[in-house]
Amino acid sequence: MSAKQLARTLKQQFMAVVSGPVEFRGELTLEVSEASRVAEVCDFAKSELGFDYLVDLTTIDNDADAPRWTAVYHLYGYGHGCHLRLKTGVSEELSELPTVSGVWRTANWHEREAYDMMGIRFAGHPDLRRILMWEGYPYFPLRKDFPLAGKPSEMPDVAFSDPAPLEGGPFVTVAGGGDSTVREPRMRNPEG
């Protein structure tokens, strides 16, 4: 089966909650309108359609738009070699999705990262705790309302006590210039 046929099959199975597929640059995306059913849709995609690998789980902060966040599941099937993307909205009031760690074991760390960086909780997750930031860190760094310069920390033994400026840092590109080698940070200091 092709990716389009697999997407149509998934949509037919969950006609009431799945819309699409939308194709963009050769990639297919289905939208799950009821976030509470995303685990059920994912389970069917794995068990019946052969999407045996959760490549990634990413999140988008829609800021002032509703829903506040979008969770995007990037699926792949080793048997048929097809990719498929599922996305669902997460409201700020609930900020919770059902876990898919029972469907794909790799979801465990993907969901922990989404929680740690964006603040989205996953109901039923076996070990939902921070994976990159330390426990007790009060912010979610990938949210759009998190300032680029950082926030001061009340824990000077654990992290910086002052915001770290980004201007001129080793990983900051220079705006402008017609050539990407001029903007590349490593070109400013080739020895470093």
Where do the CATH 3.30.460.80 domains begin and end in the chain?
A: 3-142
Per-residue confidence band for 4, with pLDDT thresholds at 50, 70 and 90: very high
Over residues 147-183, the pLDDT tens digits come to: 776 666 666 555 554 555 555 555 566 666 666 666 6
Q: Tally Cβ neighbours within 10 Å of residue 62.
A: 15
Is pLDDT of 82 > 90? Answer: yes
Q: pTM for the complete prediction? A: 0.78
Q: Give domain 3-142's CATH architecture.
A: 2-Layer Sandwich (3.30)
Q: Which residues contact 59 (CB under 8 A, 6 or more apart)?
A: 69, 70, 71, 72, 90, 114, 117, 118, 120, 142
**Above 70 in pLDDT, residue 68?**
yes
